[in-house]
Amino acid sequence: MCGIVGYLGKNNTKEILLSGLKELEYRGYDSAGIAVLQDNNFANYKAVGKLVNLEEKTKDFITDGFAVGIGHTRWATHGKPTELNAHPHLGESSYVVHNGIIENYAQLKKELQEDGVTFLSQTDTEVIVHQFEKNLKNISNAFEAFEKTISELQGAYAMLIVTKSLPDTIFFAKNGSPMLVGVNENDEKFFASSDSPLIGLAKEVNYFDDGDYGYVTQDALEIFNKAGKKVEAHFVTLATDKLSAQKDGYRFFMEKEIYEQSDVIADTILGRLGEDEIIFDELDSSLFDGIHEIKLCACGTSYHSALCASYMFERYSKVRCSVEVASEFRYREPLMSKDTLFVVISQSGETADTLETLKMAKNAGLKTLVICNVDNSSMVRLADACILTRAGIEKGVASTKAFATQVTVFWMLSLYVAKRNKAFTTKELQDQIHLLREVPASVIVTDAMHERIKRLSKRYLHGHGFFFIGRDLFFPLALEGALKLKEISYLHAEGYPSGEMKHGPIALADPELFTIALLPQHLLYEKSKSNVEELSARDSTICAISPLPFDKADDFIPINSCKDYMLEFFEMMVVVQLLSLEISVRLGNDVDMPRNLAKSVTVE
Ligand code: M6R
């Protein structure tokens, strides 16, 4: 997702900012920019696309001597990836860079516009700098104006502001989006949204806590906590290995991405949950007019999230829904009617088979919607409407956080349609929205859980195959668990509906057949349990994942007791991802780049 850098000092500010942004490229972005304040003059450059475009634009720009500067790589959320929407954003005499989402931006923007402020971009970020300057008009102390501004913002942010009102200072604030500051013996100060831009420049770094804000000058680093109390910096020595810095200390990108799920789901729901409604600003309210069926089309993991969606659209929204594997749909001469909304799902937005089905649907005159993680990708450009998942760039070939955010978007979308179709009462919608707010907490990986899975994984390195089994919404999760294991362990694994095992696959049952059983408490528990007992009676080795103890299992991975099966779904999702990861690690495989696989499959 977006990346932030900042620098205060006497060295080559432009180069430090640009090379810092380069280190953040791995997070994914679609535009970039810098602003440098030197001798009370601002220089600002922005460019769409890769950093080389920004480098080209700044090639004649020279910084010499003391300056303060901020830079940003933007992953579009509010507004298209254009130069105007790229950060830093300008007020009258201040610039801001920001990661995260300002939830109350619409209200603040309205008030600022009523005061006569003109907005240049479509972003939520621009309100920050205008709000700051509005406060500066009434409060002569720039830091106090900054403090007031922060108190007026709701949502998630890591932000830096530079202003002519205090030209030797950078203001910072962090809440929900990562940011750190680094220092060295030359009184330089460096900011970034992750370690790697600071390696080789700063000796010691302080990771900000949520609610921290403050300022730096050459002589000072002042940090205040969310209660407004001054706190000491907690410096730690910075690691020196850049690749591991990008992995933030995790062994693999896939592992990091599993751990990131809580944050990216929080980003995905941010600004989209009302009291009793789901808000998708990006959707035209007429999108569902005349629609009697939803058809979902995708490949691989995205196909599994589409299967999850089909349960939710029929159960919650009361809309007929069907799901298709894109490579099959392309050639089977499908019947398409105009009362069908055609939805494609893709992490990359470039998968050739899925893209082709989108073209087919468009040619047939259907309304189309894409659920995608990459703005400006081919599918996003082609579809009539788009909802972006906000997973940030996913580097591990085995998809994890993209799946988590896709299911989250589908859950929200099914409620959006449920409201439209009056399929839910206000109370039911409110209850669902409360549950959605609990998802980020339900996917946090605890040390105890990870350790348990690491230990258990050693028993699952052989055998003649795995069956991941589940019912209802836990069937697509079983498919996804099996796909994860196949992809990175190279062991044979299948996902199967629990109730279907007795119709054939149970013939395979013996101690060398490993059954990973998904047993949620709140969805068909007794029925699923009986299906697992049938396998246990035939001596299959059972690993049960459930909040309830299960005495017929050989191994048991407990999940937290939850109040709804959707939360159990997300808890179990993390377990199956970690189990695959740890089996693959024990087998000595390349977790992030498994053999024969590519991250984006742009061929048929
Ligand atoms: O980018 P997409 O979501 O369209 O990709 C679809 C599949 O290629 C992808 O999900 C693949 O199955 C992953 N390797 C799953 O981990």
pLDDT digits (tens, 9 = 90+) for 51-61: 999 999 999 99
Between the CA of 451 and the centroid of ligand 1 the distance, in Å, is 28
Given pLDDT bands bounded at 50, 70 and 90, which one contains residue 462? confident
3-state class (DSSP) for residue 521: coil
pLDDT attached to residue 93: 94
Element holding 357 (H helix, E strand): helix 352-363
Within 10 angstroms of residue 455's Cβ, the number of other Cβ atoms is 11
Beta bridge pairs of residue 99: 158
| Stated pTM of the model | 0.77
> Does the pLDDT of residue 474 top 70, yes or no?
yes
> Does the pLDDT of residue 242 top 80, yes or no?
no
- E strands, 490-579, are 493-497, 513-518, 541-546, 555-558
Record: fold of 3-246: Glutamine Phosphoribosylpyrophosphate, subunit 1, domain 1 (3.60.20)
- What mean pLDDT do residues 187-215 have? 92
Domain 445-586 in CATH 3.30.420.10? The answer is no
Q: Is 458 a catalytic residue?
A: no
Instruction: Please indicate whether the domains covering 3-246 and 254-442 agree at the CATH topology level.
Output: no
Residues in the chain: 604
pLDDT attached to residue 392: 85
Pair of tokens at residue 49: 């696309």
- Per domain, the residue ranges of the chain are 3-246, 254-442, 445-586
Within 10 angstroms of residue 428's Cβ, the number of other Cβ atoms is 15
Q: Is 599 a catalytic residue?
A: yes
Residue nearest to atom 7 of ligand 1 (CA): 300
Pocket of ligand 1 (CB under 6 A): 299-302, 346-348, 351, 354, 397-399, 487, 597, 600-601
DSSP string for residues in 276-342: SSB--TTS-GGGGTT--EEEEEE-HHHHHHHHHHHHHIIIII--EEEEEEHHHHTTS-----TTEEE
Architecture of domain 254-442: 3-Layer(aba) Sandwich (3.40)
Mutation probe of ligand 1 site: the residue of 299, 353, 490 with most atoms within 8 A of C-beta: 299
> Does the pLDDT of residue 284 top 70, yes or no?
yes
Q: How far apart are CA 465 and CA 319, in angstroms?
A: 37
> Does the pLDDT of residue 423 top 70, yes or no?
yes
Beta bridge pairs of residue 293: 320, 340
pLDDT attached to residue 599: 75
